[in-house]
Chain A
Amino acid sequence: MSFFIKLIYINWPLQILILATALFGFLMLYSVGGGSWDPWTKPQMYRFFISFLLIFVMSAISISFWQKISPFSYILGLALLIAVYFFGETGMGAKRWLDLRVIKLQPSEAFKISIVMALAYYYHKLPVSKVSHPFYVLVPLLLIIIPAFIVFRQPDLGTALVIIMIGIFVMFIAGVHFGYFLFGGISFFALLLVLFKSRGTEWQLLRDYHFKRIDTFLDPSTDPLGSGYHITQSKIALGSGGLFGKGYMQGSQSQLNFLPEKHTDFIFTTLAEEFGFFGTIGLLIIYSLIVFLCIYSALATTNKYSRLLITGLCMTFFTYFSINIAMVMGLLPVVGIPLPLVSYGGSSMIVIMLSFGLIQSAYVHKNNRF
């Protein structure tokens, strides 16, 4: 099939929804920028449209190619994580970025793709009879834990947990026996208990600021000017939006610098304040449709790799928006996770668009068997 014929087979509704979400994002960035294309809207638009074209190019490349390079993507991802550990740029107390001159890359973000590709490859190759064999369960667990641990040491607890979540999710989809998950779940809660018991002792397992974040999450009023401030202010912004919102560029909370990260992680609050319940539910519906179309695409493909790949990447997308929204509403502690396709930022944008490129490639080549 030629490039242009392949384009016909793209999941067009999905593509259009991506575009729609991004346009919505530009609108919001323009508003938080105080009605200006600078400094956020313009660079965000460039990044989006270039990577939007990238989706088309990626979707024309055969899924078997992506399948073949999966192990390398994992190795590369791991190498970058290690590189960031040694050469990374420190910002806000954490080493997360690699300065590659052209872009500032956040390898822990990119790894969310690598882990899905690697696990999909693994289960694609693994004979069905061995899927629930303890040894073959241990291997992918190590594949997940090692990078997650490096990310945790950056320190970036939020992203580490997301990587683990996505990895475990792919294992679940791949058909690993349910007992493992039950056992895992129980031990997870036991671990949580130990974590909290360790506080203040000399074997304390988390940094003080982690505990502090959890504290302010549980009771924002303990630190009204510190980290609890964000949650309180963002809830007020959200709630005061009401049914129809205060009108575009009229949000008093967000326009007046109450929210420190209003163009990145907290952009949902601006949207909620200015467009109200209709705006937030509208965005939630668009996101849900994107997830639905991904699941539909996954079921439409005929090979295991594509299926696992799409569901895994879809999960990545889902974690982005659900955690972000839960976070700004005060349902989850504040971890640095952006609102996909809307928040300002390069790394997460690239990761999301690459994921969609892979999903489209799998969808275009849904009848390939290998």
Chain B
Amino acid sequence: MSKFRENTLKSKMVNRIHRRIVVSGLLKASAVALLGWHIRKLQIEDSEDYKLLADANRVNLRLIPPSRGLIFDRLGRPIALNEQNYRVVFIREQTNSPRNVLARLSNIIDLDLKIQDKILQDMKKRSSFIPITVAENLTWDDFARISVNLPSLPGIIPEVGLTRHYKEYETYAHVVGYVGPISDKDLKSEKKVDPVLQIPKFQIGKVGIEKKLEKHLRGRAGVSKVEVNASGRVMRELNRTQGKSGENIHLTIETNLQKFTSERLKGMSASAVLIDIESGDILSLVSTPSYNPNNFVLGISQSNWNALLNDERKPLLNKATSGAYPPGSTFKMIVAAAALELGLIGLNDKIFCPGFYELGSRKFHCWLKGGHGKLTLQESIQKSCDVYFYELSRKVGVKRIGAMARLLGLGQSYDLPLTGLSKGLMPSKKWKKERLGTSWLVGDTLNVGIGQGFSLATPMQLAVMTARLASGRQITPNLIRAPNTAPTEPKPLSITENTLIAIRKGMFDVLNEKDGTAFNFRSTDENSLIAGKTGTSQVRKITREEREKGVIKNEDLPWRMRDHALFTCFAPYKKPKYALSVVVEHGGSGSKVAAPIARDIMLFQLHGGIPPLTAYPETQKLEVRNRLLDIAKKINLSANINLNI
């Protein structure tokens, strides 16, 4: 191509580009003109129509709030219900002077100035057609008086709404949780805003199942399209889309057992979890002290809230799934299982316990000052010898202990519809390096081996661990009963049957052999023999001086410094059906405090009611009788107890 031709082409192209830029500019200008024209049409020509719509807009769609799904227990007994609630709401647009109306209303019902101001503020924030709740839970008398005086109260509408009510509230508070009026913060965190949430004080789940299963429970709002006149009066309903009530939910928990457990734990800062081993169903999940969720439904008062928050026994916390404790000696089964599986010890091999274990210059003590002497594995579980497990955990090492713990369900959270689930903690070398910046010491392994040191487990995890040991299957807990699904048998654990049998036998001996740590709290009923393990976990360090002088007794320590008492068990021994864990915070010794509680709960479940005295050893019958009668009275259950011992 000649230079000349190329140059002409080039200049031709320059012109073309020029032309096209100008043309595109003109096209843009005409697009803008079109937009402008349309804006003119909307804002000037049709403006009057839209202004009318903007006014009418307030009332032409009315939401009909869906009724929230109910929550039932295992046997269909109601736990969370919707109750009728007499209330008055106020629609701002229907009056010119909301303040005057409120003042007049305050002559009829109790409505102080502070509340009036708050109502007026709420109104400003929301569109004028949205009904603002003025007063709730009115008595019928108040409600009737307002209804009679309506002509002088423009904008005030008396209505019957539904509000959440919890039966058996205290015992279920931590599981079911509660609903509360939606807050601005809740509204912001919602990704796709459901129109019903716009209704002020609409109740949504805040904690527990109510929160986690909110989607299922809420349902869908219906919409009623109404024609309104200029003053906002509803003339007629144009059409109505039916909403959908929320789904009902059936828990796996059984109310009588739950109430019995709550009552048995009353007065303590404690928790208990009972699992059905075959299905993984949680039959009871209790944490004490509890609180009244009904106080939250209409919004809790600041003073009540502060009282709950500042209570050192933490009533708001679900200790069964959110509390993580050093598992103490209940952890010993894990070390034993790991050692047996690895072939590091035989069933007849013995280890000598002189009462302490020396590691370099450090001395690790057994809880029994004089030592246990020579022990087999089974005896070491029965007597909960610490030295035995120092030796064993050193052989196994923290890595393999951790692997076994995870296999048995520790250090992980389960898929439960509860808030604030804790994962517990199964430490590793890497964890310590990252978290504390120091390297792992053999001493750390020894401490972990007896369930002290860094390891933490929730009562839920301990119950799962026990269920897995008792069944040899990978039990996972569940809280919701899915209707019409056949239970699938959980997969077997990769632990040999011989190992499991040895450990179960050790746990059996804990309660049923004379030297067992919980021998006093055995069941004497041949059909409901219990096997279990005690645990007493320290929350403070015992100094060398103190040990020489004699360890301070729990009773002499302030509450916060006392040991946690743990007990985990399964029953019946021969054909395990239930697994249970009990943790009493700062309760003292696991064998003295936690074991008797666990026995009562387990026997209750095995007998389907207040247990008969025949299941208790002769010497304890009187004490047990008084206790059981007392509980039976409180929870309104008939006790079939022979009063003549």
Contacts and interface: CB of A to CB of B under 8 A. Distances in A.
Interface of A: 34, 91-92, 127-129, 131, 169, 172-175, 224-225, 233, 235-243, 252-253, 256-258, 260, 272, 276-277, 280-281, 284, 287-288, 291-292, 295, 298-299, 304, 307-308, 311, 315, 318, 322, 325-326, 329, 331
Nearest to A268: B39
B24 A172 contact: yes
Given A128-B13, A331-B38, A239 B24 contact: no
Q: Is the interface of A mostly helix, strand, loop or mixed?
A: helix
Nearest to B1: A129
Interface in B495-544: none
A258 B54 CA distance: 11
B77 interface: no
A276 B43 contact: yes
Nearest to B17: A175
Contact of A329 (B17, B29, B39): B39
Interface stretch (B157-165, B187-195, B244-252, B348-356): B187-195
B35 A284 contact: yes
A272 B17 contact: no
Contact of A235 (B17, B21, B50): B50
Interface string B71-93: 00000000000000000000000
Contacts of B198: 257
A169 B24 contact: yes
Contact of A128 (B10, B31, B32, B49): B10
A316 to B, nearest CB: 12
B24 A173 contact: yes
Contacts of A291: 25, 28, 32
Interface string B165-183: 0000000000000000000
A162 to B, nearest CB: 15
Contacts of B10: 128
Q: Is the interface of B mostly helix, strand, loop or mixed?
A: helix
Given A243-B47, A272-B43, A284-B35, A295 B9 contact: no
B407 interface: no
A252 B50 contact: no
A129 B6 contact: yes
Given A172-B20, A236-B57, A311-B24, A288 B39 contact: no
Given A129-B1, A169-B24, A292-B25, A280 B43 contact: yes
Contacts of B25: 291-292, 295
Interface size class of B (residues with CB under 8 A): 35 or more
A284 B24 CA distance: 18
Contacts of A318: 28, 31
14 contacts: A92-B191, A237-B54, A238-B43, A238-B50, A241-B47, A242-B44, A243-B44, A257-B125, A288-B29, A292-B25, A299-B21, A307-B21, A326-B35, A331-B35
Name the 10 nearest CB pairs between A and B, nearest first.
Answer: A239-B50, A256-B127, A240-B54, A277-B43, A242-B47, A240-B50, A175-B16, A295-B25, A240-B51, A239-B42
A331 B128 CA distance: 29
A285 to B, nearest CB: 9
B195 A238 contact: no
A173 B17 contact: yes
B346 interface: no
A236 B38 contact: no
Contact of A240 (B9, B31, B53, B192): B53
B630 interface: no
Contact of A281 (B17, B36, B191, B195): B36
A272 B32 CA distance: 16
Contact of B46 (A239, A272, A304): A239
